[in-house]
Amino acid sequence: MNNLLEKYNDEVQTILNKYPDDQKRSAVMPLLYVAQREKMYVSQEDMAEVAEIIGVTPTEVASIIGFYSLYYDKPGAKFRIQVCTDLPCALRGADQLMEELCHKLKLDPHFGVTTEDDKVTVEAVMCLAACDKAPMFQLQSGDGIFYHENQTVESAMELVEELRHTP
Amino acid sequence: MTYVLFRHRDIPDIDQLDVYMKHGGFEAFNKVVTTMKPEEVVEEVFKSGLRGRGGAGFPTGLKWRFIDKNNWPHYVVANADESEPGTFKDREIMERNPFQFYEGVMICAYAVQANDAYNYMRGEFWELAHVLDGKLAELEQAGLLGDNLFGTDFSLRMYNHLGAGAYICGEETALLESLEGKLGQPRLRPPFPPSFGLYGKPTIVNNVETLTNVPMIIAKGADWYRTIGTERSTGPKIFSLCGNVEKPGNYELPLGTTFRELIFEHGGGIPGERKIKAIMPAGASSAIIVANDEALDTPMDYESVPNVGSMLGSASVIVIDASVSIDWLVKKTLHFFKHESCGKCTPCREGTYWMTHLIDRIEAGSEGYEQIGLLYDVARNIEGKCLCALGEFSIQAVVTGIDRFPDDWKAKAKNGVKREMDAVAV
């Protein structure tokens, strides 16, 4: 039985229809977003199901998860605050925002770290194409990816608190 | 001025299909499909002098001419993987003037007789992708996408595809690999995509901004287009301005506008009393320009920027003021490229890894000048040894940072072991 197919059949078919019949492998990335939606990571079972749908091996699916930074193969926080600290953002105070935010949350700014309640991870990421609206971060969860631009430590803390109280 | 690309700045609701149509939207597409031969469209774009806006500056019409007509089907792929630190222009186009971009894709598809087109967007544009899925549905409903368009036998379908966080997928062959569901790693070239592209079929890959120019070229003609910009760098360009500047943002200006005009007139100059020190004209992958009067008066076009030792690239202008030490800047760019190296070519994979180690040691101040020389040496040994430009990009700031800003490194090493700066290959 393929849970992914069973549960999201319409969505899976819509995705598959975007690509030629003999090129279903192209659907691996959109399917992984679907697989990751509920748990915010892709389990071994999910990988096998995605592999079955597109006709590749689970190892090949795992390699895609390993290569691309927006997929996770281990359970983690439900919400990820991903602060861009690349050069243009750093010139506008992104490193300070990252450090102060981590300090307030009692986290180490040099690693992707998670709050005590396992709800929120704060991590530095690479350029997010919003250099003129720095400091900024994106919020990634199973529901998608949302930009938060022109941020301050206060506005970021407000969001963290809100997320921690989200069931 | 009247905007050619950022028309939403003149017409705020142009992201609505009826508003876009009211302002001449899809008339160019209708015109090419119903009255022009595909080759005529290619020649008009060629005549306009339009060059690729993703960074390479390759003539767009020439690329379209290269499409292999003995191998079918053909594909068009829009490169919306915008990931270069300092670049944020394609996002504004797609958010605010999406139909002009899509019309460009559609005209390109007709010109090369492709019936399927993909828009490959970086995964972080998740929200935008969902908005754009709605726009595609509107186009289908309006009969602008689908079978037998305008009663002809030309059919076209278009799809958005989301990546998942990999800078390298902005390189066109890595993008195609990724779209095929594989690791985003560049291919050996030749063959180039117009003969061997998506699924091994002839494919045109163009940047979002490039394609957004096309409807206006068809509507107003190549001769009109050539009146904007310079003789060899024609048309308008979106300059993404950021860093130590008062008013960062996107500025649509003719190619050939000087750095001075962009930074000081449009961008409002440098904050505080500080002085401008350096410019990275093509994002984190640029050679760093010393911002002297000669550089500031240089026109930003494909021919002139190399005269001051850099490239126009995607025109992502990062302004650096005197408060910034170049070794710190190099650390930032190196960590980026190390993270984004796809790992396929050894010089890039290992080289970016070792360069980050070296710069971290230098930054820690615990090592002597010889580490700076070693960093320079590693960088020089990556040059020209990789399949794609990422390896090349990773060393630009290193080499030019050491060559052109030696004082910054001297100051850094003062805090460390005392050595003679002369020992460094600068």
pLDDT of residue B6: 98
Closest CA in chain A for residue B267: A132
Q: B187 near B197, Cβ under 8 Å?
A: no
Point out the residue among A92, A134, A144 whose CB comes nearest to the CB of B127: A144
Cβ within 8 Å, pair B242-A29: no
Q: State how far the Cα of A94 lies from the Cα of B164, in Å rounded to an integer.
A: 23
Cβ within 8 Å, pair A145-B126: yes
The CA distance from B301 to the nearest CA of chain A, in Å, is 22
Q: State how far the Cα of A30 lies from the Cα of A46, in Å rounded to an integer.
A: 13
Q: What is the DSSP string of B376-405?
A: HHHHHHHTT-SSSSHHHHHHHHHHHHHHH-
Percent of chain B with pLDDT over 70: 96
Three-state DSSP class for residue A131:
helix
Q: Does B318 touch chain A (CB under 8 A)?
A: yes
pLDDT tens column, B55-107: 999 999 999 999 999 999 999 999 999 999 999 999 999 999 999 999 999 99
Which residues in chain A are closer than 8 Å to B183, comparing Cβ atoms?
63-64, 67
Q: Does B163 touch chain A (CB under 8 A)?
A: yes
Task: Label the pairing between strands A113-114 and A120-125.
Answer: antiparallel
Cβ within 8 Å, pair A132-B250: yes
Q: Does B74 touch chain A (CB under 8 A)?
A: no
Closest CA in chain A for residue B329: A87
- pLDDT higher than threshold 50 for residue B299: yes
pLDDT of residue A112: 65
Which residue shows structure tokens 């230098």? Answer: B362
- pLDDT higher than threshold 80 for residue B421: no
- pLDDT higher than threshold 90 for residue B111: yes
Global pTM exceeds 0.90: yes
pLDDT of residue A117: 79
Cβ within 8 Å, pair B250-A33: no
pLDDT of residue A114: 82
Percent of chain A with pLDDT over 90: 87
Task: Label the pairing between strands B316-321 and B236-243.
Answer: parallel
Tokens standing for residue A16: 């598959």
Amino acid type, A44: Q
Q: Does B315 touch chain A (CB under 8 A)?
A: no
Q: What angle do CA B292, B314, B17 make, to 5 degrees?
A: 135
Which residues in chain A are closer than 8 Å to B166, comparing Cβ atoms?
67-69
Which of B74, B29, B311, B103 is closest to B63 using CA atoms? Answer: B74
pLDDT of residue A107: 81
Which residues in chain B are closer than 8 Å to A63, comparing Cβ atoms?
183
Lowest mean pLDDT among B140-144, B161-165, B409-413: B409-413
Average pLDDT over residues B383-412: 92
pLDDT tens column, B255-274: 999 999 999 999 999 999 89
